[in-house]
A and B are shown apart, each in its own frame.
Chain A
Amino acid sequence: MQTQFRVEVQERGAGTVISLSGELDLASSPALEEAIDRVFASETKVVVIDLRRLEFMDSTGLSIIVKAQQTAEDRDVQLNVVNGPAQVQRLLSLTGVADRVSLIEAPEDALGGG
C-alpha cells in the first residue's frame, strides 16, 4: 500500500542534500515544504533534491519543486534534482519541469568529491 513519506536533510561537501522516500502527495507535502524552507534559511549555496527513492509524486510535490526552483533563482542558489523512478520522471517531463531544472544523475555530481 502507501509507503510513509520521509525527508532527510544532510549536509554533504559543498551543499545540502534533501533525500525523499515514500509517496509525496497532498498529505505529505508540508513536511517537504518545511525541510526546503529550513535548507534555504541555512544559506547553503548548493541544494540537491534526491528523488531516487520516491515511489510516487503528484502535482503538489511537483509545485513544491517548481517553487523551490524559483526561490533558488531569486537567491542565487544552485538547485539540482536527482531524477526518480518512472512515474516521477514522467510527471517531470510531461509538465516541462524536467527541462527547466538541473537534472543530475547523483548528488555527487553537484557537490564535488565530498
Chain B
Amino acid sequence: MDFLAEAVTIRDREGSIVYGNRAALASMGFRSLDELRSRPSRVIMSDYLVQDEHGNPLTLEDVPSMRLLQGDDVDSLLMRTVHRETGELRWRHLKTSPLRDGHGELLAAVTVIEDVTAVKTAETQTRILAESGRILASSLDYQETLQNVANLAVPALADWCVVDLIDPQLRREHVVTAHADAAKVAMAERARALEGDELDPASALVRVYRTGSSELHAEITDEALQQGTRHEEQLHLLRELEIRSAIVVPMQVPTRTIGVMTLITAESRRRLGPDDAELAEQLARRAAVAVENARLHTRLTRIADTLQTSLLPDPLPQVPGWEIAALYRPAGAQQRIDVGGDFYDVFSSSTGWFAVIGDVTGNGVSAASQTALLRHGTRFASRHEPQPAGILRELDDALRTRRTQSLCTVLCARLGAGTVTASSGGHPPGLIAGTDGSVTETGPPGPLLGAFHDGRWPEQELTLSNEQTLLLYTDGVIEALGEAGRFGTERLKAFLAQHACDAPEGLLSALDRELDEFTGGRVREDDVAALALRPR
C-alpha cells in the first residue's frame, strides 16, 4: 500500500495502530512504522487540536476506526486538525471499513485518509467571499453588516476579526470586534479601551493604514506584544488571550484607505499564511466599499435634508388686516423629496405687504432651487418696486438672461387695507369667492416669465370685503388627475362657492381633502400650493 497517495492505517481491536503506509507515516511525521507504533494514538492526537467540520472538539473515541471497533455503525468523518506547535491546518477525510476473519469476526479497522485541505480551504474562502458580498449589499447600516461579515470570518478564518475605521488624523472609530466567545470579546474591548482611540504612529495599524500594504505576522512573540502595548493591564489581557498569529489588511476604496481589518488566531493555534492574507484583503476591500457607500448615502441624505429645509416656505407671518392660510403639497413625497417647483411667499418690505405664488416648470430639487431664487428675487425687487407688475418685469428680466433656467409662472399681489393689487405672469387667475355664492376671476395675465422679450403685465386693483376670500393656487390643483379626469377650474369654483364661509385655514383643509378624494389618494405628479386670503 506504499504506492497509494492516500494514507492508510489499520487499527486493531485493542485500539492500537498496527500499520500505516508510507503516506500515513509521512503525514504524521514519522520516519518508520516502529516510531508510529511506539506512540499511543492518544499521545499523537494531543499534538493537535482536533475538531469536526462544525468546530466541535474530537477525542480519540470520536475517530471512526475507534467507533467502528466499539460496534458503532459508522464509516466516515471529516476532521480538522491544527498542529499545536507548527500551527498548520489540515483537513482530512477519514473513511473506515472493518477487516474480518473467515468467521466474520471483527479483527481490525482499516482507514483510508484523504487529505482534502486544499479543497476545503478553497471552499471556505469561496463561501466567505460570496456570503460577505451578499451581507454587505443587504443594508446601509454598516455597523450591522460589518458585524455580520466579521462573524463570517470567525472562527472559519481566524479566532478574532477586528474592524477599525481611521481618519486622516489617525483617530480610530472602532466598528467591530468579533469572536465566537462573548466573554473574550469583553476582554478584548477592555484591552482596546486602554489603548485609546488616538493611534500610535508606530503601530501596525497605522503602518498599514498609511502604506496601504498588508502585514502578515505569522508568529507573534511575547516581545512583539510588549512592544505593541502601552499598559501593563493591556499586555496582561493580550497574553491571556493567547494570541498567536495576525494579519492586518487595509480597507481601501479607489481614492483612499478608510480603515484596517485585523484577523487574529489565538486558541485555535493556527498559524496564518499568505493565502489567508489574500482572502483577508479581498474581504477588507468589499467591506470598505460597503462602508463608503453607506457614508456617502448618509452625507447625501443630510445635504438633501439641509437644502430642502432651506427651500421650504417660511411659516406665514401675521399680516395686519388679513387672515391668511397656506397649503403646500410637493409631488413625489415617496422619494423623500419634500420640496418642489411650486412656491409661495408672504412678506413685508419697505413698500408694503406682499403675497406671491408661483410655479417653476418641472419639480424636485432643481426646480426647488430655482424657487429660492424667485422668492429672494421677489423680496429684493419689492424693496424698491412697490408695483407687482414692476416686480414681475424684474423677475422676467433676470430669468430671460439665463436661457437654461426653467420657465415659470408667478402671481404677485400687494396687500392693502381690504385691497389687493395683483399682477400675473402666465399664472392661473386668482379666484374671489363670496359668501353670497359668487366666484370671480382676477384680471388678465401677462405672459409667463423668462420666455419672451416684449412682456407686459397688466395690474388690477381689487377691493375685498370680509365676506370674500381670495384663493391663489398653482396648476397642480386644477390639473389633479382622478377617475373622473382632471379636477379643473369649474370644480374648483364650485368648491369655493360651497366653502366661502369657511375661514381661510378651514377652506384649505377642505380643499386638501377634496383633492385627495378626487385623486383617490394616488401619488401626486405635480406640486400643489395654495394661499387663501380674507380681510379681517
Contact = CB atoms under 8 A, between A and B. Distances in A.
A94 B447 CA distance: 7
A25 B398 CA distance: 26
B174 to A, nearest CB: 47
B448 A96 contact: yes
A105 B512 CA distance: 40
Given A26-B525, A59-B409, A94-B426, A100 B452 contact: yes
A31 interface: no
B448 A97 contact: yes
Interface residue range, chain B? 20 to 34
Contacts of A87: 486
Contacts of A97: 447-448, 451
Contacts of A96: 426, 445-448, 451-452, 455
A12 B343 CA distance: 43
B361 A63 contact: yes
Q: Main secondary structure on chain B at its contact with chain A?
A: loop
Interface in B414-451: 426-429, 445-448, 451
Contacts of B406: 63
Given A94-B426, A96-B447, A96-B455, A60 B481 contact: no
A26 B451 contact: no
B359 interface: yes
Nearest to B406: A63
A41 interface: no
Interface in B82-128: none
A4 interface: no
Interface string A48-84: 0000000010111011001000100000000000000
A44 B475 CA distance: 35
A95 interface: yes
A42 interface: no
Contact of B409 (A56, A60, A95, A100): A95
Contacts of B361: 59-60, 62-63
Chain A interface residue count: which class?
20 to 34
Contacts of B481: 2
Contacts of A63: 361, 406-407
Given A95-B448, A96-B455, A56 B486 contact: yes
A94 B451 contact: no
Contacts of A25: 525-526
A99 interface: yes
Given A58-B479, A63-B361, A97-B451, A70 B403 contact: yes
A26 B361 CA distance: 9
Contacts of B429: 94
Contacts of A62: 361, 407, 448
B362 interface: yes
Interface string B477-491: 001010100100000
B245 interface: no
Contact of A26 (B362, B409, B483): B362
Given A62-B361, A62-B448, A94-B426, 5 more contacts: A26-B363, A56-B486, A66-B407, A70-B403, A87-B486
For the complex of A and B, list the 10 residue pairs with the smallest distance between their C-beta atoms, beginning with the closest: A96-B447, A95-B426, A95-B448, A63-B407, A63-B361, A59-B361, A66-B451, A100-B452, A60-B361, A96-B426
